[in-house]
Amino acid sequence: MTDQPVPDPSDAVPMELLSDTATIGADGQLIIGGCDTLELAAEFGTPLFVYDEAHLRARCAEAVAAFGPGVNYATKAFLCTAMASLAVDEGMNLDVSTGGEYAVARAAGVPADRLVLHGNNKSTEELALAMSEGVGRIVVDSFDELDRIIALVERGVAADTPELYVRITPGVEAHTHEFVRTGQDDTKFGFGVASGEAERVIEMIGEHADLELVGLHLHIGSQVFEERFFELAIEVVAPFFHRFDLPELSIGGGLGVPYVAGEQAPSITEWGAAIARACEAGGIRAWVTAEPGRAIVASAATTLYTVGTIKNLPGIREYVSVDGGMSDNPRPVLYGSGYEAFLARCVGADRERTVTVVGKHCETGDVIVNDARVPADLAIGDVLATPVTGAYGLSMGSNYNRVPRPAVVFVADGNARLVVRRETFDDLLATDTGVNPAS
Ligand X SMILES: Cc1ncc(COP(=O)(O)O)c(C=O)c1O
By CB under 6 A, is residue 166 in contact with ligand X? no
Binding characters for ligand X, 367-406, by CB under 6 A (x = yes):
------------------------x---------------
Crossing angle, helix 81-89 and helix 99-107, to 10 degrees? 70
Q: What is the DSSP letter of 68?
A: -
Shortest Å distance, C-beta 297 to ligand X: 8
DSSP code, position 393: S
Q: Which of residues 74-133 bind ligand X (CB under 6 A)?
A: 74, 76-77, 95, 118
CA of 6: how far to CAs of 11, 14, 22, 28, in Å? 14, 10, 10, 9
Rounded alpha-carbon distances, angstroms, from residue 268 to 78, 275, 277 = 18, 11, 14
In the complex, the smallest distance separating the C-beta of residue 253 from ligand X, rounded to whole angstroms, is: 3
Q: Do 271 and 225 touch, CB atoms closer than 8 A?
A: no
Segment near ligand X (CB under 6 A), from 71-79, 129-137, 330-338, 421-429? Answer: 71-79
Residue 252 touching ligand X (CB under 6 A): yes
Q: Is 300 in the site for ligand X (CB under 6 A)?
A: no
Q: For residue 362, indicate whether it is catalytic.
A: yes
# residues near ligand X by CB under 6 A: 17
Segment near ligand X (CB under 6 A); pick from 175-183, 196-204, 249-257, 395-403? 249-257
Contact 310, 320 (CB under 8 A): yes
Cα 204-209-214 angle, rounded to 5 deg: 70
CA dist., res. 297 & res. 87, Å (int): 10
CA dist., res. 173 & res. 298, Å (int): 22
**Taking contact as CB under 6 A, which single stretch among the options 3-11, 40-48, 253-261, 401-409 is the one that binds ligand X?**
253-261
Using the contact rule CB under 6 A, the part of the chain among 70-78, 143-151, 307-315, 341-349 near ligand X is 70-78
Closer to ligand X at the Cβ: 90 or 323?
A: 90
* Non-local CB neighbours of 28 within 8 Å, separated by 6+ positions: 4, 345, 346, 347, 348, 349
Q: For ligand X, what does the binding mask look like between residues 259 and 298, x meaning CB under 6 A?
A: --------------------------------xxxxx---
In this chain, which of 122, 148, 219, 405 binds ligand X, going by CB under 6 A?
219
Q: Which residue(s) pair with 385 in the sheet?
A: 304, 342
Evaluate the CA torsion angle 36, 41, 47, 49 in order and state its sign.
negative
Q: At 278, phi and psi to the nearest 5?
A: -65, -40
Q: Would you give the distance in Å from CA 177 to the centre of its chain?
A: 19
Nearer to ligand X, 327 or 395 (CB): 395
CB of 28 to ligand X, least distance (A): 33
Among the listed residues 60, 279, 346, 362, the single catalytic one is 362
Of the residues 119, 162, 253, 272, which one makes contact with ligand X according to CB under 6 A: 253
Tell me how far, at minimum, the Cβ of 110 lies from ligand X, in Å: 17
> What is the identity of the amino acid at 219?
H
Residues at the site binding ligand X, with contacts judged by CB under 6 A: 74, 76-77, 95, 118, 219, 222, 252-255, 291-295, 391
User: Which residues are catalytically annotated?
Assistant: 362
